[in-house]
Amino acid sequence: MKACLRCKYLTNMDKCPLCNSEVSENWRGLLIILDPINSEVARKIKVDIKGKYALNVK
């Protein structure tokens, strides 16, 4: 999987399906957001779509 450089969304595609930004294979830390509206973590990283995210993307 690759992570989006902007929103950190994890995807298998060559561009982020959410924001159309570049993706990178150089990421660390998996974060699964199931309930973005009630998740403190989701708010912290400004995520409002459920899915898998990286904690760190380079």
Cα–Cα dist 24/50, whole Å:
20
Instruction: Report d(CA 18, CA 7) in Å as an integer.
Output: 8
Q: CA nearest 46: which of 18, 26, 17, 23?
A: 18
Residue of 1, 13, 15, 19 that binds Zn ion (CB under 5 A): 19
Interface residue with Zn ion, options 11, 18, 24, 45 (CB under 5 A): 18
Residue 45 C-beta: closest distance to Zn ion, Å: 12
H/E segment holding residue 53: strand 51-57
Q: Does 54 bind Zn ion (CB under 5 A)?
A: no
| C-beta closer to Zn ion: residue 18 or 45 | 18
Interface ranges with Zn ion (CB under 5 A): 4, 6-7, 9, 16, 18-19, 21
